[in-house]
Chains A and B, each alone.
Chain A
Amino acid sequence: MAPSDTPEPVLPPSAKKLTVKQEREARRQAKVEQFRKQQARAKRNRIVAIVLSSVAALAVVALIVTVVISNATPKRDPADIDVAGVQTWDDLEYVHTDGPVDYEGQYGMNPPAGGSHNPAWLNCGIYTEEQQNESAVHALEHGAVWVTYNPDELDEADVDALRSQLPDSYIILSPYPDLDAPVVASAWAAQVKLDGVDDPRLGDFVEKYWQSPDVPEAGALCTRGIDGPGKVA
């Protein structure tokens, strides 16, 4: 505000006949009054500034939070999951065959993780005995994950621990004698050898490969096929 905006206070008409002393006093009071008004205005402006900047800061924070939340809702694309040590295969065959398939010789897989298979798929479930490779591979084609374990390295509690981490459907759990790892998880065209039942890579593997849209016939039946020996669930 320019000084010209603050003219000499206009004296009230009654002040015309006042003494010099009284005039001085009136002028002083007028000045005090003016000063108070200025102070009040400054105070009001300060409050307005604080309120406005608070609202503005809040708006910015709210906007950022909204944008961050709407853009970054915890979401992990299975395609982006990197399972350490996973082995994958391209261009597997989908041939139905009644005969045995040499998965190790033909594809370098042991246990098998895809390839030619028996026309009859193994029903998903929990098995206490070794299963036929060719039928289990057909179940993998239907989106199942086959978890095999070395029966010499896992006891019953370990097997239960394994089972508790797996989905209730589209899973085959079975012992696999002479397995070169305590636990091996296999899906169609993917496999990971695990260090034990508490290896965190099992969860990642299931998240990425179980019922994966890249599996040729995900969602086709994993029941009404054949029950292998030792099916307990």
Chain B
Amino acid sequence: MDPEKSPKQPLSTRLIVGIILGATVIAAGSFTAGFVAAPVTPTPGSTSTEAGFSRDMQTHHIQAVEMSMILLDRTEDTELRMLAEDIATAQQQQAGQMYAWLSIWGVPQAAPEPSMTWMTRPTLDGANHDHGGEDGETSHVPGEPMPGLATAEQLQQLKSLAGVPAESYYLELMIAHHIGGVDMAQAVLDRSTNRAVTSLARGMVAVQQGEIAYMNELLAERA
């Protein structure tokens, strides 16, 4: 080997090392960038329609569970007991789903703004949720009781009754409660495209409307 030529070898080796290192840096950079920028479905924020619905509907559902548990203590009627268990377990399960969404979305269970605020925001088609309101005024006022929610006095009244009067009163309260629940579920359907939320809300609308009809029949039988 010619000693004068050998100095060239480290040069080309360095070149190769340089290319490899450069390629590595570029590859690592691209992979990191791709990993960071990979399409991640954005999750609803704390003041989103979805989060507002998930909090308010939990409150709403948990009262339906409470009313149903009260009735189970106040009647032996098989039909009404089964209805109460149906509503209680279905709504407790759904409340758990909404609780888990908030947890997964990384937003607090506690509301950062008054309840029902999300229902006063514009709908997907830009219109306001103003049915029932006067002169285009929204029928929902942030911080006011949710539609269909029973008052503390009404719950106390239910606890004081037994037998058919308890059944009738439960049905009255629950029919109003379901009508309000359908209203809230419809409000989120008008404002959200989140698949999990809209799927649950659609089920609520359908099931609760069916149950309203059934409860009206049961109520008429007790008149």
A interface residue numbers (CB < 8 A to B): 1-3, 5-6, 31, 34-35, 38-39, 41-42, 45-46, 48-49, 52-53, 56-57, 59-60, 63-64, 67, 70-71, 92-96, 119-121, 141-142, 213-221, 224-225
Contact = CB atoms under 8 A, between A and B. Distances in A.
Contacts of A39: 6
A220 B86 contact: yes
A226 to B, nearest CB: 9
Contacts of A70: 35
A216 B207 contact: yes
Contacts of A57: 20
Given A2-B7, A35-B6, A213-B199, 19 more contacts: A35-B3, A42-B6, A49-B13, A53-B16, A56-B20, A60-B28, A94-B207, A94-B209, A95-B210, A95-B213, A119-B79, A119-B82, A119-B86, A121-B82, A216-B207, A219-B93, A219-B96, A224-B85, A225-B82
B89 A221 contact: yes
B7 A1 contact: yes
Contacts of B4: 3, 6
Contacts, number: 119
Interface string B77-116: 0010011011001100110110000000000000000000
B211 A96 contact: yes
A213 B203 CA distance: 9
A38 B6 contact: yes
Nearest to B30: A63
B203 A215 contact: yes
Contacts of B35: 67, 70-71
Interface residues of B, number: 46
Contacts of A141: 207
A49 B16 contact: yes
A174 B207 CA distance: 26
Interface string B2-43: 011011111101101100110110011001101100100000
B220 interface: no
B11 to A, nearest CB: 7
Which 6 A-B residue pairings sit nearest by Cβ, starting from the closest?
A94-B210, A219-B93, A216-B203, A1-B7, A220-B90, A96-B214
Contacts of B86: 119, 121, 217, 220-221
B124 interface: no
B196 interface: yes
Contact of A93 (B6, B89, B210): B210
B200 interface: yes
A63 B31 contact: yes
Given A95-B213, A219-B93, A31 B3 contact: yes
Contacts of B27: 60, 63
B206 interface: yes
Contacts of B214: 95-96, 119
Given A3-B4, A94-B209, A219-B89, A45 B24 contact: no
